[in-house]
């Protein structure tokens, strides 16, 4: 299973999005959630809320919130650097999102990457 996550700061107990970390991770729910928490050093206890398919974890002392949900609407894209022999396969919501993630992955400008749908859901 694939899971989407979104980690951001809070202001007045509301998601602030002055910065945000988004990603996709594979695995069963507990394992994937532990991996995301470990990656960002979120070892303290969190307040957990479930709203439909979304799991929300809040760390009030750190002013952080993590949204975690099943990624059933993602498509697999094959991305490549236009001027270097670099390729990768990533999961994204849209073609533009795939381009943005590829540019971040290759540490380059968005105009220097290309993305094409590689597989199904």
Q: How far apart are CA 70 and CA 79, in angstroms?
A: 23
Give me the tens of pLDDT residue by residue for the chain, a chain 121 residues long. Answer: 788 899 999 999 899 999 999 888 888 889 999 999 999 999 999 999 998 788 999 998 899 999 998 877 667 778 888 888 888 877 777 778 888 878 888 888 888 888 777 664 4
Q: How far apart are CA 67 and CA 5, in angstroms?
A: 5
Angle at 106 between CA 29 and CA 77, to 5 degrees: 55
């Amino acid at each position: 299973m694939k899971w989407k996550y979104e980690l951001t700061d809070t202001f007045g107990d509301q998601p602030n999005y002055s910065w945000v970390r988004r990603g996709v991770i594979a695995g069963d729910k507990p394992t994937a959630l532990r991996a995301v928490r470990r990656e960002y050093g979120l070892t303290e206890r969190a307040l957990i809320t479930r709203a439909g398919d979304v799991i929300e974890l809040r760390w009030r002392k750190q002013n952080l919130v993590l949204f975690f949900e099943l990624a059933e609407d993602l498509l697999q894209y094959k991305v490549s650097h236009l001027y270097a022999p670099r390729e990768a396969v990533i999961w994204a919501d849209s073609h533009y999102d795939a381009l943005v993630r590829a540019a971040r992955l290759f540490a380059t400008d968005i105009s220097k990457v290309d993305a094409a749908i590689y597989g199904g859901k």
